[in-house]
Amino acid sequence: MGGPKGGGRVTLAAGWLIDGTGAPPRRGVAIEIEGSTLRAIGGLDAAAGLSGLPGEVLDCRGCTVIPPLVDSHVHLAFDGLHPGGAPRSAAAAEERMRQNAARLLRRGVLAVRDAGDAAGYGLRFARRVRDGGSRLHVLSTGPALHRPGRYGALLGRALPAGCQPADALEGEGGMRGAVKIVNSGLNSLVEFGRETAPQFGAEELAALVRRAAAQGLSVLVHANGREPVARAVRAGVRSIEHGFFMGRENLAAMAEAGIVWVPTLAPICAMAERPEAAPRERDVARRTLDHQREQLCQARGLGVKVALGTDAGSPGVAHGDAAVEELRLLIASGYPVAEAVAAATSAGAQLSGFGGGRLRPGAEASLLVLEGGPADIPESLRRIRRVFLAGEELPLPA
């Protein structure tokens, strides 16, 4: 739909603004865009109406404006529908990832962290995106690292015997946007709360963090259970992915160290509602989901920074729609709407390097216009009225 008209300026007269910082919604705002920049945010004069606003004026007084969403944990090569993970051919994987990107954009997700696949399809897709292949901003870890014989084969590669995680980065500087390492197994659907042993020691992880930092990369760690998470926290990683059953002590340490938590509620919620699953599996999944929501309440009280991540591509977890569900679960876990939106926008933008995470004067003019008020979020993400990316209004996906 092109960029701003009317002398290069457009003003959105919005009913509400949620700016992505976690601050409460503002009522009645004028958002002025010039070129690719958000030039100003001011109040609307109820008596004057829309008169006097600069440039082309868009009447969005029945809508809420928020930053674009960021899904901080996806698997672009998986779609959540086909078992077995990624397709076998690069061409099939490319088509699947393009379809997944379209689904994400349809729900206002303009940036993702791709957490890897064994073949490295997601990493190659991220490179093509950087060359202009998609509107979606993608930061990819490439294949994850794990110990031989332990969980992780679907997502990456096992380190050879005697190889340290830091050594696996040799020669890969500039190829990835981040590094993912697997330091536990999956959650059990048979025994509630069962924890698996760590795959790596704290010093091995710390050496990886140092080597990655020297190459300009951050480290995200798949970790469930007290000790796998504790080792990752002591190593100073950037984020903990999943973090089921990690406990209050780890949450407090994460708050102190500024480590981000990506709790990925959507997959366990999907399992709890999966009709073909055995009754015991559904029961354990429901209890696991409840426990994770309790940890989220603790995290909020302790000041842990939380970023929305869906694990989209996992069984029953569809790209795009999962972000709506994950946001709903955050709100249901005690996060006010504005704080949940911050987890889905500015927190993820910091992890992914996306420039559109907060709405403030001088920032990149990327935003969503959602039908209805703040109380209609997240369902209003299914009724997006307008999308701006760096000042350009994008066509709404069908």
3-class secondary structure per residue, 10-54: EEEEEEEECCCCCCCCEEEEEEEEECCEEEEEEECCCCCCCCCCC
List the chain pLDDT tens, one digit each, 398 residues: 444 543 479 999 999 999 999 999 999 999 999 999 999 999 998 777 888 899 999 999 999 999 999 999 999 999 988 777 788 899 999 999 999 999 999 999 999 999 999 999 999 999 888 777 679 999 999 999 999 999 999 999 999 988 999 998 875 544 578 999 999 999 998 999 999 999 999 999 999 999 999 999 999 999 999 999 999 999 999 999 999 999 999 999 999 999 999 999 999 999 999 888 899 999 999 999 999 999 999 999 999 999 999 999 999 999 999 999 999 999 999 999 999 999 999 999 999 999 999 999 999 999 999 999 999 999 999 999 999 999 999 998 77
Report how far residue 42's alpha carbon sits from residue 284's, in angstroms, rounded to the nearest whole number.
50
pTM given for the model: 0.95
The closest of 300, 310, 182, 193 to 251, measured between CA atoms, is 300
The closest of 324, 310, 388 to 356, measured between CA atoms, is 388
What distance separates the 2 farthest-apart alpha carbons in the chain?
73
DSSP characters over 139-188: EE--SEEE-TTSS-TTTEEEPPTT--GGGGGTT-TTT-SEEEEE-S-PPP
Report how far residue 142's alpha carbon sits from residue 16's, in angstroms, rounded to the nearest whole number.
39
